[in-house]
């Protein structure tokens, strides 16, 4: 499948589905999303997917085993923000008293990122990866 011509945004909703494959198929069929990128999980499900719609993009994954070190393993939804200067952004969040739930670290897919909970408990991840 060819990739749509999309100018990447800076803010991406992130959703987790019990059945990632069915969710992707439904979102494409019902709403007109286009598949942009997809990787499989170790159990053959959807590990990570990116669906484009116009200039927007949605990131999603299928269910996975709970991992106490990774709040994203059980979270049903959150927000990802792509930034250029991640170190400055992290310092700003720390200075503002953000609840850091995953410290700033390099990932195996080339991003440098961290995750926080906002004052009402929503999960946010901020990093250098741009879908």
DSSP 54: T
Question: How many Cβ atoms from other residues are within 10 Å of residue 79's Cβ?
Answer: 15
Q: Are 24 and 52 in contact (CB under 8 A)?
A: no
**pLDDT tens digits, 58-103:** 999 888 788 888 888 888 899 999 999 999 999 999 999 999 999 9
For residue 77, the domain's CATH number is 3.30.720.110
For residue 41, the domain's CATH number is 3.30.720.120
pLDDT at 4 > cutoff 60:
no
- Tokens at 1, concatenated: 């499948």
**pLDDT tens digits, 36-53:** 999 898 888 899 999 999
Predicted confidence band of residue 2 (pLDDT cuts 50, 70, 90): low
What domain count does the chain have? 2
Range of the domain at 106: 71-131
Q: How far apart are CA 126 and CA 124, in angstroms?
A: 7
Both 12 and 45 in one domain: the answer is yes
pLDDT at 107 > cutoff 70:
yes
- Tokens at 89, concatenated: 């952004």
Question: How many Cβ atoms from other residues are within 10 Å of residue 67's Cβ?
Answer: 10
């Amino acid at each position: 499948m060819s990739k749509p011509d999309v100018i990447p945004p800076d803010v991406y909703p992130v959703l987790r589905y019990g059945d990632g494959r069915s969710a992707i198929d439904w979102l494409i069929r019902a709403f007109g999303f286009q598949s942009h990128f997809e990787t499989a999980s170790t159990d053959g499900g959807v590990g990570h997917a990116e669906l484009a719609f116009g200039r927007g993009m949605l990131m999603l994954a299928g269910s996975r085993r709970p991992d106490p070190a990774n709040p994203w393993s059980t979270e049903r939804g959150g927000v990802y923000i792509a930034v250029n200067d991640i170190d400055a952004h992290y310092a700003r969040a720390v200075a503002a008293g953000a609840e850091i739930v995953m410290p700033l670290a390099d990932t195996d897919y080339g991003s440098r990122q961290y995750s926080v909970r906002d004052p009402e408990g929503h999960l946010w991840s901020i990093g250098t990866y741009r879908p």
